[in-house]
Structure 1
Amino acid sequence: MTVKGKKPGAGFANLVPSADELAAITEQAVLVNAPISSVHVLPGFNPRGRYSGDELNSEKLQELVKSIREHGVLQPLWVRLHGGEYAVIAGERRYRAAMIADLTHLPVLNFGAVSDERAEELALIENAHRTNPSIVDQTLSGFKLLALRTKMSQEELVRHLNGVRKGQLKDTHGVGEWLQATYGTGISVWAQQRSKILNFTPEELSAVQARQLDVKAVYELLNVKDQDKRRELLAEAVRHGWKAEDVRKAVQALTPKKAHPLLSSVEGLRGDLPRLKQLTGKEAAQAQKLIAELRALLGQDKKR
């Protein structure tokens, strides 16, 4: 997906249209003063609701509710036709705040019966125009769009991306070109880094969204298998503002160092050494040979 007039490879800015480009996009829609009862939100569609649920709770919405009561809804919601009603493409916070403010009608830009994939694209464009989307929004929306484009599940997509990256599979869906044109990053980045975000917990996603923790710091938490320990480390990392290196050290401290595999053998041999002087004849010669081989081996290790 690229906005008309934008060159591929310019990064996520490809999704941020100029004023003229935004006008060209919104010309496709019809401005309607819609009854709020005819507007609804499709479960799991809106990026804010999908990735940062706390942004939609009543406490977070209070300032917006106050503004809407005083001035009304200043920016129309973007909607599409779905089941004879209007489904929100972008503007769920405004919709929910308007509900709390007891509005009866909403200004909406109706884009018609567009596909799920086009609706996701429009949501990204609208959000990018108003805000600076976080890496979480970019990534999870990107995988959602890729799933619509390729008809693969997220798990299948990650395997596909890694297969293409390793040269084991052909990029039959043109994913590499699409990622580069849309986000300015290629398959390797999405296969090896962005895919890790799919394994973040809701608390970890919120921490990144709130800029309490860098995404690279959360990558380090993925190495913790114990979920309780992982939550504890997350809380501590947020509290102290840890960087990735700090989290890595904390994770390493959770893993006890493994004893050297020869340690117990060395301890046992130390107790047996006094008995060497009891050996005679062939046994003494064999012991001498083994000692010489051991010294030679240790000498080689030392050179390394």
Structure 2
Amino acid sequence: MSAIRAYLKGLVEEAKKPTSSTLLLAELVPRPQPRRRFEEASLKALAESIRAHGVLEPLLVRPLGDGRYEIVAGERRYRAAQMAGLSEVPVVVLEGLDEKTAQAIALMENLQREDLNPYEETVAVLDLLALELGKGREEVVSLLHRMRNERGGKATQNVLGSPEAQKVEEVFRLLGRMTWESFVQARLPLLNLPPDLQEALLEGAIPYTAALELKKVKEEGERRKLLEEAKAGLSLRELKAKVRELLRKEASPPPWHKEVLARLSRLDLEALPPEKRKAVERHLQALAKELGLTRKA
């Protein structure tokens, strides 16, 4: 049994009198999950399997008190069962399950999904850490950055030996996917992706490594073009080369800059009429001040 499954089993056993049953799909209510998406092809494949073999793993639910039951774990099976045309599914009813435990079970179950994309995984891990630490998501992000800074010798904040840091390490050991250091380096940047890249990542159209590379391109039109190429199968190596070339061009001064600089270098102020010379001198002084090139008294 995996560490996650063992952890889930422990959480389920903490509930009062878990009982196996069968419930109508109409009696079930998914938990509010505004960020969750389900990959259509994967869902259809699961629906075909359910048509052939039924729902093999019961859904975990808790009573809402009005004759309905909230799905704590198993929303993907619930949706696939709907697609398969089933009217009822096997469930385990968890009586007396508090909200924190229900959320922990939902997050852990979500992290086991085969179609979970890196962005969703990042958010789910942060939500799990927030739940375990009793903090908001932004506070967790701040804690992780402070831990990394201390680990890298950039600051001495006495964070790494704290109970909070130990809890962070414990959660990542449980998940067994990556260290907290690699999570900070490779996954937290996904939270700051532009909307078009977030959308592509959520749809599974590009890998997260391509999204992080495309994030370097600030000009939307150019980024959109490269995004379409990445969706069409452009390799990460080819994408990096194109981004590198694009950034090099962006860093180079436009041709008109070079022309203006060349003309200024040939400019003979003494040859200009007095009024024109004064006007040019005023503009040059203003430009020098803007660029911080004026001498301090």
Residue 68 of structure 2 corresponds to residue 90 of structure 1: no
User: Which one scores higher on RCO, CA 8 angstroms, separation ≥ 6?
Assistant: 1
Q: Compared with structure 1, are the counterparts of its residues 170 and 213 closer, same or farther at alpha carbon in structure 2 (3 Å cutoff)?
A: same
Q: Compared with structure 1, are the counterparts of its residues 268 and 242 closer, same or farther at alpha carbon in structure 2 (3 Å cutoff)?
A: same
Output the TM-score relative to the length of structure 1: 0.63
Distance 1:248 1:239 in 2: 16
Distance 1:163 1:24 in 2: 32
Q: Compared with structure 1, are the counterparts of its residues 22 and 251 closer, same or farther at alpha carbon in structure 2 (3 Å cutoff)?
A: same
Equivalent in the alignment of 1:178: 167
Q: Compared with structure 1, are the counterparts of its residues 194 and 33 closer, same or farther at alpha carbon in structure 2 (3 Å cutoff)?
A: same
Distance 2:79 2:99 in 1: 22
Q: Which among 253, 257, 281 is matched to residue 259 of structure 1?
A: 253
Deviation at 1:256, TM superposition (A): 2.1
Residue 192 of structure 2 corresponds to residue 199 of structure 1: yes
Q: Counterparts in 2 of 1:54-203, with a 5 A limit?
A: 54-55=38-39, 61-84=43-66, 85-126=68-109, 131=114, 135-166=118-149, 167=155, 171=159, 174-184=163-173, 185=178, 187-200=180-193
How many residues in Structure 1 have an aligned counterpart in Structure 2? 252
Q: Which among 193, 206, 226 is matched to residue 233 of structure 1?
A: 226
Output the TM-score relative to the length of structure 2: 0.64
Partner secondary structure for residue 235 of structure 2: coil
5+ residue gaps in structure 1? Answer: 4-12, 276-304
Contact 1:161/1:190 (<8 A) preserved? no
Point out the more displaced range, 232-241 or 148-157. 148-157
Structure 2 counterpart of 1:256, which letter?
E
Point out the more displaced range, 151-160 or 234-243. 151-160
- CA shift digits 1:205-228 (9 cap, x unpaired): 575577653322211222333455
Contact 1:64/1:94 (<8 A) preserved? yes
Contact 1:217/1:244 (<8 A) preserved? no
Q: Counterparts in 2 of 1:266-277, with a 5 A limit?
A: 268-270=264-266
Deviation at 1:137, TM superposition (A): 4.2
5+ residue gaps in structure 2? Answer: 150-154, 272-297
Equivalent in the alignment of 2:285: none
Partner secondary structure for residue 89 of structure 2: strand
- CA shift digits 1:60-112 (9 cap, x unpaired): 64443344344332221122334553221222122123234443321012233
Distance 2:98 2:158 in 1: 27
Distance 2:234 2:111 in 1: 27
Partner secondary structure for residue 242 of structure 2: helix
Partner secondary structure for residue 103 of structure 1: coil
Contact 2:214/2:243 (<8 A) preserved? no
Equivalent in the alignment of 1:243: 236
Contact 2:38/2:115 (<8 A) preserved? no
Q: Which among 207, 218, 223 is matched to residue 211 of structure 2?
A: 218
Distance 1:125 1:180 in 2: 16
Aligned residues with identical type, % of pairs = 28
Q: Compared with structure 1, are the counterparts of its residues 198 and 176 closer, same or farther at alpha carbon in structure 2 (3 Å cutoff)?
A: same
